[in-house]
A and B are shown apart, each in its own frame.
Chain A
Amino acid sequence: QVQLVESGGGVVQPGRSLRLSCAASGFAFNIFGMHWVRQAPGKGLEWVSKISYNVTQKSYADSVKGRFTISRDNAKNTVYLHMNSLRTEDTAVYYCAKDGGGPADFWGQGTLVTVSS
């Protein structure tokens, strides 16, 4: 079955960097796009970024553009989110999700990122 396991979250000071990872299994990772979606505590969902199956297309929310970078390693079945210049408003649970040809059809359990001094 499809499994997505995020890691790399934690507490980080404003202005610092963090890299999230999402290990995928149970499906042909190299033919599906992948998303990162975040959810601030007690809030709704915010789409963060998407990467195509072959890395040729990447897109970002305006709130993270220029600070976050999405990447993937198809040999390792892993997608990454490199987060630089972190702000307190980036505090959230970060989910990776498989792109099911449009909607996100499978989601990981998420990893919590807390940006605080």
Chain B
Amino acid sequence: GQQLNQSPQSMFIQEGEDVSMNCTSSSIFNTWLWYKQDPGEGPVLLIALYKAGELTSNGRLTAQFGITRKDSFLNISASIPSDVGIYFCAGLNAGNNRKLIWGLGTSLAVNP
């Protein structure tokens, strides 16, 4: 099935550092979603984006819906140990055949 290109695949950073990850697609999307999965749990929605160019924040997290509608990024500022987990992007494609397409995830490790 179709998948998004999510990068980086993994990151290992020091506490306090900023983090940036992104997703790109060859298709246009109407919606971009960013999820976080804590170890041993199901993914939880962090930020939802619905308009091209939209920039949305949720605490230390900021995400943007790319102008071309083919990409999105997620930034985490001043990382803390509880940011550890897997971050997934997901896009809802345009057109009549609604389908949520998922990235493969970015695994984040934070060194205290």
Mutual binders A and B: no
